Amino acid sequence: MDARLIAFLILLPFTLAFLYAAIHEYLRYKSQGSATYGLAYNEETGTTHVTGISEEDEAYDPEDYDPADYNDPEFQSGSDPEKT
């Protein structure tokens, strides 16, 4: 196989994914307008994810994170899941 063909076949899936994301974002922009993206924190799972942030909400700031505030159901104080 030619080296150019191998390079094309390797880059093709990434190019298609980029084009799909660009078209998807363009269609979202046309229907909803400009968006602000940022980190959102899920207190139940203790995870963050990138999502659209509305104008009245603030993005998650990792420096304000306190691990003691995490609500892990396995480590609730006063309850033992094996005794239930």
Residues 23-75 pLDDT 10s:
999 998 898 888 788 787 777 777 878 887 776 666 666 676 665 665 555 65
Task: Report yes or no: 44 and 71 within 8 Å, Cβ to Cβ.
Answer: yes
The residue that leads in pLDDT, 79 or 14, is 14
Q: How far is CA 59 from CA 20, 55, 83, in A?
A: 26, 10, 40
* Helix, strand, coil tally for the chain in percent (to 5): 45, 15, 35
Q: Does pTM surpass 0.85?
A: no
Q: How far is CA 74 from CA 20, 41, 46, 84, in A?
A: 40, 19, 13, 13
